[in-house]
Structure 1
Amino acid sequence: MRIVLVGPPGAGKGTQAAFLAKNLSIPHISTGDLFRANISQGTALGKQAKAIMDAGNLVPDEVTIGMALDRMAQSDAENGFLLDGFPRNVFQAEALDAALKDQGQELDAVLDLEVPEEEVVKRIAGRRICRNDSAHVFHATYSPPKTEGVCDVCGGELYQRPDDTEETVRKRLDVYHTQTEPIIDHYKAQGLVVTLSAEGKVAEVTERAMDALNRTA
């Protein structure tokens, strides 16, 4: 299956993508991983992206598209893939459509993970991370530490990342609504969008997604 996963920040796209890709035996292709891999491997696109980022500028769509298409052309994606974070806007979506058409392929589904805006803010703004190990993550409401501000695992100080503040989260949501949300209408016109509630336990959301994909297969 060839799937695009879309949803606002805090919808749990990365978590769901990992589970769904494993269940479907297809690679999980995320924009963040693409950038890190290309930069660390010193590819032509990676060098171009790094120079742009080091200058404090946004990476152009063409570079992101190039990285995504290169990754999708690898052998493990021959029978499908799950895209997470790409396409991020309508221009990228149109480029993906054209590339797939050239290969005689098409998307099977676009999973739209829906979460109420205030829940997104609550999820992200409540996150607290250990300064000693960023893998130790807590939440002020959903999974608080035994002692406020102290990591249960190693005793390190818990802190809130600057991009997790409520003000920053709302700005990220504005960007999502302006730039990314329009791709949902783009794909609705193709009859590809499956809208799912991303509220509840992780396993419940995964089950909803798998049920929906099985119905589209």
Structure 2
Amino acid sequence: RLDKDSDELLHAILRNYTGVFSDDVYIDESMLAVRTGKSRKEVTEKLISLSRLRYIRYIPQKKTPFIVFTTSREETQFVSISRAVYEERKKRFEKRIHSMIGYVEEEAVCRSRMLLIYFDEKNPRDCGCCDVCLKKNETGLSNYEFRRIKEQVEMLLGDGQPRRINNLVDSVADENTEKVIRVIRFLIDAGELNLEDDRVSAKRSKNHR
């Protein structure tokens, strides 16, 4: 039968260290000494004694660095998350998921630019070496030319109304007709624009953030 001091020490361990039944855990002999009203030396000796009696398996502390958390860990059954906090976390998680899906599916915006925008970097630029940028280079346009024409096309189709290709091309100001056609063709192939009966319309914009 255990003596009173041993019983108090075991109870202190059980109260302060979760998971002690299933796996080895690091303990703080000094903290246990405070909780039981004993000296650190007495606690260590008592732990060694209990280990010899096979009540516990105790490995005395060596001069190995360890971390002590200043706040005790709450057990799962005692953790409560309010509905508002839960919904906010869910909303942020869904936003990250949609951003990831958009990053994977996007075929007209530079991958690097999308990442920089996501992390709120200012003045993002096309990298010129991702799959999207390399595909743009097939049009024979520079990134600057491509982006400038693309922005005008998107603005012209921003009202949601389909436009005939010829009318759309003519409406892009101060640009070479052949270059405009290349950009429109690229955007159609990339799924950014819809083409139906010689009319072009914009698809619903994606949210990359």
TM range (shorter): under 0.3
The alignment's TM-score, normalised by the length of structure 2, stands at 0.20
Going by fraction, where is strand more abundant, 1 or 2? Answer: 1
TM (norm. structure 1) is 0.20
